Chains A and B, each alone.
Chain A
Amino acid sequence: MAIVSALQNQLIQLQLFEEYSWIFNLLFYVIFVVFIFYGQRIQMYVMLREVEGSLYKLKYIKDEGRKIAIETIKEIGKPQTDPTGRVDRFLEYFTIAPQSLDPAGVVWKLEHILDVRDVRFKDEVKLMAPAADETQAYNLENTLEAAMALNYIYKIIRHFYLLGKKTLSLYIIMQIQMILPLIMREAEAYASALKAFAYGQPIGDGAGALVAAKLMYGYETRKMPKDCVVATVPIEGRTAFVIKAEGPGGNVGKIGDAVKAIIDENEGKIAAIIMIDAAMKLEGEEVGEVAEGVGAAIGGPGVDQFKIEESILKYRIPINAVIVREDIGDAVSPMRKEIFDSADKAIDRIKQVILERTKEGDKVIIAGVGNSIGIGQ
């Protein structure tokens, strides 16, 4: 304000403008009054425009995702009819979470609903892409799920944008504008995930699966319930049951069921469980940093974590976790070199844990958690 009035004073001093100085004066007051009464409204329009810009970008990303999904289905699945209509219907698919008013047993209800969803998705993919083999079908399912997530994000942002425009409520616009940078990051991550899934490239989330694959390579594997494989590997004089989701199709498997089955097979005589997973890093932390702790390191809807915790409680088995740090963008986009290299560091850490926490001849479970897309065994 001081600068403006100084400038104004200067204007008055100028000979040329002397007789018109009142115009500048008036203009100055008018602007002042306008900003007092309409400042908030102007700010709101600025925010609305910002959201609009992001919405255009989201629409572009979402359309691109849908296009890639359809092209991949046509290329791999070789359907007789055009899959576009079916894909569009699939993108609108929703899942209703079970009622948790009475939380007892809600995990089993959730698991059942997720199973139904899974079966439904697999059937749908089979219909869309009859020529795809099992690995490709898994990858297509993942691709479609990423396209679905993008579609959902777009629709939510559009909803708040239109609602804000309709009501002209600062608070509706403000809440969406405030979280917009985070949402855009997530959308970009899903967009690169979609491409990785379409091509079957390993993603950052597969860090745990990669560690397990490296440990079990060269040893006999057998299938476990559901979509998991296990290998019996001698490590440092101990017997390790190494578990991972079956690759190279995009799939996370039910690690919880596999861990439970191994524990039951050995009647609870397991000296330790070590879980390896990719975990969210905080800004400032290094990508691919390996850290160690205790607890069941497994993400997802929580069903597997619950199952593992239930089964180790029965026999009081100690559980250790080794995590590889990465951010959301790295987790779902093609695996970065830093994360790939950290697999060897994680293996060293696992060996160290085994040496320190178990005795020779003990049995241990090593579970590599994560999407096994692009990672065989």
Chain B
Amino acid sequence: MSKTPQNATTRISTFVLLIIFLTLALSLTALILATTFFGQDNKIIAGYLLLIGFIGVALSTYVLFQIRKRVLRLRIELPPIVTTIECRKCGFKIVREFQRGDYIFKKGELCQKCNENMLITAIYREVKEKEKTAP
């Protein structure tokens, strides 16, 4: 999974990253310059530099977050899938991570308490969903 993303997607983002950081640096210098001009009582130039600086910072951070979001979304994330194993006789329950070969109603492991065959009764994933309600 670590090898494939080394394609064009990441290569483009490094180039874009360079430009973003350059813009960020330039806008920060503009902001610093603005403060010095303020000191020299040159209000108009200082105002313009301030404007340019703020726009630059806002723009570059926005693009930066956009790229981060894209990289995050690119990963196919797998929520944990749990298997519940139950003893039908004494009600003893084990909840563990899914393993290949598990299926619902599979008779498997012996019960730790009464040595009876246990049964897989549930396999599911739990999703925490952001609540979005509509009227």
Identify the A interface with B (CB < 8 A): 14, 16, 53, 56-57, 59-61, 63-64, 67, 188, 191-192, 195, 199-202, 210, 213, 217, 247-248, 284, 333-337, 339-340, 374-377
Among residues of A, the one whose C-beta sits closest to the C-beta of B126 is A337
Task: Give every chain B residue within 8 A of A333 (Cβ-Cβ).
Answer: 125
Contact of A60 with B5 in the complex, beta carbons under 8 Å: yes
- Using CB atoms, name the residue of chain A closest to B134: A284
Are B74 and A335 touching (Cβ within 8 A)? no
- Name the residue of chain B whose CB is nearest to the CB of A198: B100
* 16 A-B pairs in the complex with CB atoms less than 8 angstroms apart: A57-B73, A64-B1, A64-B76, A195-B76, A201-B102, A202-B104, A210-B104, A248-B103, A334-B81, A334-B124, A334-B125, A336-B127, A337-B124, A340-B122, A375-B103, A375-B104
CA distance A337 to B80 in the complex (A): 12
Chain B nearest CB: distance from A296 CB in Å? 25
Residues in B whose Cβ lies below 8 Å from that of A200: 100-103
Give the distance to chain A from B115, nearest Cβ to Cβ, in Å: 21
Chain B residues closer than 8 Å to A57, beta-carbon distance: 9, 73-74
Cα distance, A64 to B7, chains bound together (Å): 12
Chain B interface (Cβ < 8 Å from any Cβ of A): 1, 4-5, 7-9, 44-45, 70, 73-74, 76, 78-79, 81, 98, 100-106, 122-127, 134
On chain A, the residues within 8 Å of B123 by CB distance are 201-202, 334-335, 340, 374
Which of B1, B7, B45, B122 has most A Cβ within 10 Å?
B122
Instruction: Give the CA-CA distance A122 to B104 in the complex, in Å.
Output: 24
Question: In the assembled complex, which residues on chain A have CB atoms less than 8 Å from the CB atom of B101?
Answer: 200
* A residues in contact with B73, CB < 8 Å: 57
The residue in chain B whose Cβ has the minimal distance to the Cβ of A206 is B104
**Provided the pairs A14-B44, A199-B98, A199-B100 are in contact, do residues A213 and B105 lie with their beta carbons within 8 angstroms?**
yes
Within 8 Å CB of B79, what residues of A? 334
B74: contacting residue among A60, A67, A199, CB under 8 A: A60
Do A248 and B74 have beta carbons less than 8 Å apart?
A: no
Min distance, Cβ B6 to any Cβ of chain A, angstroms: 11
Q: How far is the CB of A266 from chain B (nearest CB, A)?
A: 27
Whether B76 pairs with A374 at a CB distance below 8 angstroms is: no
Contacts of B105 in A (CB 8 A): 213, 217, 375-377
Separation of A120 and B46 alpha carbons in the complex (Å):
75
CB distance from B84 to the nearest CB of A (A): 10
Chain B positions within 8 Å of A375 at CB level:
103-105
Which residues of the other chain, A, contact B4 by a CB distance below 8 angstroms?
A: 60, 63-64, 67
Known: A200-B101, A202-B103. 11 other contacts (CB 8 A): A53-B70, A57-B74, A61-B76, A199-B100, A200-B100, A201-B123, A210-B104, A213-B105, A217-B105, A336-B126, A337-B126
Chain A residues closer than 8 Å to B122, beta-carbon distance = 340
State in angstroms the CA–CA spacing of A319 and B124 once bound together.
30
